[in-house]
Structure 1
Amino acid sequence: MNFRFALSVCLALCGTTATAQTAPTLAQDGLQARIDHLSQDAVANGFELGMLQTLRGVEQTLQSRYDYGLWQDNRMLPVLRFGWALVPNPTPQPSGPETFSKIMVQFVTDMQTARATLATAEGSGITPFTLTLTDIWFDVNGNGARDRGEDAAQILGPVVLDRQALRAFERASEDAAPLIIRFDEADHAWLTAYTHMLSGFGNLFLAFDPAPILRDLGAARDALADAPEIPNHYDPEALAAEIEALEAEQQQIQKRVDAIAAQMAPLSDEQNGLFRQRTEATDDAEIARIETRIQELSDEMATLRPQQREANQARALIRNEIRSAKAKLDTKDDGQIQRMARSQMASIDALYVILSALEQQPDADLIRAAHADWLAMIAHNRRFWDRLAQETDDDLEWIPNATQTSALGVEIPPRVAAGWQAILADAEAVLQGRLLIPHPLLPSGHGIDVTAYVDDPAPIDPIAWIHGIGATPYTARGPRITAQSWQAFQRLTGGNAGSFALFLN
């Protein structure tokens, strides 16, 4: 992945905006100041304003998470994955079980606002505009200044780029010329599709609102402070004597380990030296002598190895026994497994919350809203490709057609447009129930009908759905989606389908 394409993918997840020569500028003053300026003539600036509002929606999620110190690993969560590597707030506000849900509600509202602005722009006439990509930044800490680490590419890059591509981008960005894009009528449809994609994920998140799970989890953790404490019934004096005896035995075992190692070391050293001599020797008699001695050393070490294994095993067993005996003296001391689990607690909690949230009764209206968002995303993406195919200019293109050149240096392989629209057609067929989702444990010829679930959403028991029995109320017989369109797209893009999917929406 070249540098310019890496940057394009990085910025594609959150939209784009334009910079003008009049104050306030995006590069210096940030998103909200520029939004306020453009809003003075919202009709004329509708397209640019809609893009800024889309970006502002992403910025507000970052600011809220910074305010509340919610920078733990959220890479399993849609939208909230952005900026996971940023420096946390040293003095965060206290958060509650509803904090994540409130952030997502605001984000979905922001996408709706941006979409309404874009719709107004379409009705009054879409006005193209230009943007310098490096002007985009997020005021994460809300101090009004463009601080280090707040560039959009720096925040989004760790999410959408692999390490090699990210390092290449960081090296190239220091010397790169400004990347200027002219966004036109086709790109208006592209952005509208993206707002639907993002708000679809937001609505799905809210449909299985994790707030009750987080509330119960917090209450359970708080209750641990009031857990009753029972006295330690182990006899400390007897334990101390037992530990002392075990440690004395451990010293004897260690002496045996050391003694065997001392016997093995010269034998091994001599044998290694003979191996080197064997490779250099040319005289047959000398070679025979060396091989005889190598075999003698191997036989000697072979008699010692069982003793070495036995001694090492005895050392490991008594070490574990001593550790367990000491744990009886200090019941507050965690074992190794507990310490390892605690270091991964944020990820463990996130997985628990996600799986438990799925087992709740989802909000049917929000499920349908997410479904409608993704159908609208496909419709607007098709509109984008139709408009793109009709373009005859070649002016700082965001995504070029076959006769245009990308201002980003993105090389769009031949037939990619048709390949991507084949993927959209499959996705639309699944969302409309014309193709089923295969499940390996359902009977032959059966699959899951998405529309059946949208019409009557129910809790998702992960184990039951993995087994297949949980999916039976939504099962139908008929054609199932296959990976052919995706595999064809992989071939068209040289195995880079994921990056192109993020870019093309």
Structure 2
Amino acid sequence: MFRPLALAAAILLPLSSASAQSLTERLAADGLAATESRLASLSAPSPDDRFALGGVRFLRSIERALQLRYRYGISPDLDMLPVLRLPIPPNPAPETFDPAAIDRLFAEIEGDMAGAIAALDTIADDDDVGVIVDIGDLWLDIDGSGTAGPGESLPEIIGWTLGMPLNDTLPPPEIRFDTADAAWLSAYAHQITAWSHIVRALSPTAAITEVLASAAEFDRINSEVGGFAARDAQFGTFIDLAAIVLGAIEQRPHPAHSRAALDHLQQMTADNRVFWARVSAETDNDREWIPNDRQTSVLGLEFPAGTAQSWQAVLKEIELVLRGERLLPYWRLGDGAGLNLRAILEDPPEIDIIALIQGSALLPYVETGPLMSGEAFRRFDQLVQGQSVLFAIVLN
């Protein structure tokens, strides 16, 4: 029962310290913020401590995102945004929403992830990391009370997400993260940072401000006349959300953010290469997270022989696209021509939905050359027997 919980929890946070049990006890008692302060103040942190600091900062970013969602009672309809999709307890008295909060949140995520990456990147190939995660000790201070409350333990959050009832007869498992996993977590931090830059490249603040102001005005008019708009009650939230999304998209993305997203995606693939090189050299088999062909994952997820080689072939194709050496297929083009994603991210176009669908906005990015085939991913999907989405989330 708890093995899938451990899988999802590990995606959110690997963390521990040189004295794993004392750290997880501190996490259970004090939470993430206090633990981060303690780890950051160490004068001579060990490799385990540096890994722990990176992990705490990673999860602290998730915690702060959910705190913001709780503070304003942000609708779960925003689950298309990274980080904000996790379930939270309801806030009985949310504050009035600040339209700039989304931009501010993702700026904070970038800062948090930069701190996590800075700690993780100090871990070298010859460092001996052995970091144990006790899933049952982890909780997110979603309501900001400073104590763990209902709905704030990581097993509760992840169990709800997966649609799984908790089973007290099975204790949450322990996972031992090692030197290789520092590169894996750094890769994940780069990926989340890239998505944060994409959100900020399409700053939604103006669109949110306009939509909320118009919705409030309609509510004011209905209140004055004593009217009730049944269709608004049924569809209004969905229409408002769609208007925010379209209003944010239809602009020129900020080039500094789109270029930063490109850079972090490339660093993500580079860290993945480091991870797989380290994993292949491992000889132990101790509560492994992602194993090599001689190891077993503690998560209960079967990694077929050849997973490392097959996934690295997928990474190679992604790297070629990010370098502009493979083009994206486009519906108006046949073999031999496609879209240069690198060029799009380096100099993004003014976005017009109709022009994007028809293609005129994308003509400047059309080039001739070899296309991304997708063959590597199809072979990977066959290897993992159709579970490619799950494995892609785990392997990053």
Could you say whether these structures have the same fold, taking a TM-score greater than 0.5 normalized by the shorter chain as the test?
yes
Matches within 5 A, 1:289-368: 332-334=227-229, 337-342=231-236, 345=237, 347-368=238-259
Match of 2:119 in 1: 117
The one of 52, 55, 69 aligned to 2:56 = 52
CA contact (8 A) 2:125 2:278 kept: no
Q: Which segment is superposed worse, 104-113 or 67-76?
A: 67-76
Deviates most, 351-360 or 14-23: 14-23
2:109 paired residue number: 107
Paired position in structure 2 for 1:144 = 146
The equivalent residue for 1:16 is: 14
Q: Deviation of residue 434 (structure 1)?
A: 0.9
User: Quick one: distance in 1 between partners of 2:131 and 2:84?
Assistant: 29
State the Cα deviation string for residues 316-341 of structure 1 (Å, max 9, x = none).
xxxxxxxxxxxxxx993535x44432
Q: Distance in 2 between matches of 1:228 and 1:411?
A: 57
**Shift in alpha-carbon separation, 1:76–1:228, aligned structure 2, 3 A:** closer
* SS of equivalent residue, structure 2 residue 332: coil
Q: Does 1:41 align with 2:42?
A: yes
Report the residue type matching 2:31 in the other structure: G
Q: Distance in 1 between matches of 2:175 and 2:348?
A: 43
Report the AA paired with residue 227 of structure 2: K
Is structure 2 residue 262 aligned with structure 1 residue 371? yes
Cα distance in 2 between the residues matched to 1:181 and 1:105 = 31
Given the alignment, which residue of 176, 186, 190 partners 2:170?
A: 176
**Does the C-alpha gap of structure 1 residues 196 and 491 become closer, same or farther in structure 2, counting only changes over 3 Å?**
same
Distance change >3 Å, CA 66–CA 395, structure 1 → 2: same
What is the match of residue 63 of structure 1?
A: 67
Q: Partner residue of 2:205?
A: 211
Is 2:309 the counterpart of 1:418?
yes
The letter for the 1-side match of 2:289 is W
Match of residue 27 from structure 1: 28
- Structure 2 CA distance for aligned equivalents of residues 410 and 202 of structure 1: 29
Query: Displacement, 1:88?
Result: 2.0
Aligned to 1:499: 390
Separation in 2 of the partners of 1:154 and 1:462? Answer: 40
Output one character per residue of 1:268-301: Cα deviation in whole Å (capped at 9) or x when no partner. xxxxxxxxxxxxxxxxxxxxxxxxxxxxxxxxxx
In 1, distance between residues paired with 2:353 and 2:125?
45
Distance 1:488 1:348, change over 3 A: farther
Output the CA distance in 2 between the equivalents of 1:361 and 1:180: 46
- Greater helix content: 1
Q: Distance in 1 between matches of 2:172 and 2:160?
A: 21
Q: 1:403 to 1:141 in 2, by over 3 A?
A: same
Contact preservation (8 Å) 2:311, 2:380: yes
Separation in 1 of the partners of 2:243 and 2:373? 31
Equivalent position SS for 2:105: helix
Q: 1:106 to 1:408 in 2, by over 3 A?
A: same
In structure 1, distance between residues paired with 2:171 and 2:221: 62
1:190 aligns with 2:184: yes
> How many angstroms apart in 2 are the aligned matches of 1:431 and 1:157?
35
Q: Match for 1:392 among 273, 283, 306?
A: 283
Partners of 1:41 and 1:333 in 2: CA distance: 60
- Does the 8 Å contact 1:396/1:406 carry over to 2? yes
Change (3 A) 1:339 1:52: closer
Name the SS of the counterpart of 1:200 in structure 2: helix
Q: Give me the CA root mean square deviation.
A: 2.5
- Give the structure 2 partner of residue 254 of structure 1: none
The one-letter amino acid of 2:174's match is: I
Structure 2 counterpart of 1:409, from 291, 300, 307:
300
Letter in 1 for 2:186: T
1:463 partnered with 2:354: yes
Query: What does the per-residue CA deviation read over 1:143-165, in whole Å, with 9 as the maximum and x for residues that have no partner?
Result: 12222211224324555x4xxxx
Q: Is the 8 A contact 1:190 1:381 kept in 2?
A: yes
Residues 1:380 and 1:470: Cα distance change in structure 2 (over 3 Å): same
**Whole-angstrom distance in 1 between the partners of 2:15 and 2:357:** 43
Structure 2 gaps of 5+ residues are none
- Aligned 8 A contact 1:442 1:468 in 2: no
Structure number with greater Rg is 1
Shift of 1:123: 9.5
CA distance in 1, matches of 2:246, 2:371: 26
Secondary structure of the equivalent of 2:22? Answer: coil
Residue 431 of structure 1 pairs with residue 325 of structure 2:
no
Cα deviation 1:250-284 (Å, max 9, x = unaligned)? xxxxxxxxxxxxxxxxxxxxxxxxxxxxxxxxxxx
The residue matched to 2:121 in structure 1 has which SS? Answer: helix
Helix, strand or coil at the partner of 1:396: coil
Deviation at 1:3, TM superposition (A): 4.8
Deviation at 1:7? 2.2
Conserved in 1, the CA contact under 8 Å of 2:6 and 2:172? Answer: no
1:225: how far off? 6.5
Query: Does the C-alpha gap of structure 1 residues 393 and 445 become closer, same or farther in structure 2, counting only changes over 3 Å?
Result: same
Instruction: Report the secondary structure of 1:30's partner residue.
Output: helix
In structure 2, distance between residues paired with 1:73 and 1:224: 21
Q: What TM-score comes out, normalization by structure 1 length?
A: 0.72
Change (3 A) 1:89 1:400: same
- Cα pair 2:40 2:53 within 8 Å, conserved: yes
Q: Deviations along 1:177-236, whole A, 9 cap, x unmatched?
A: 34112211100110010100111101110011000111222333344478799xxxxxxx
Given that residues 10 and 157 in structure 1 are in contact (C-alpha distance below 8 angstroms), is that contact kept between their aligned partners in structure 2? Answer: no
- Matches of 1:216 and 1:430 in 2, distance apart? 37
SS of 1:120's partner is: coil
Paired with 2:220 and 2:145, the residues of 1 have a C-alpha distance of 41
| Contact in 2 for aligned 1:16/1:133 (Cα 8 Å) | no
Question: Which of the residues 368, 380, 396 maps onto 1:489?
Answer: 380
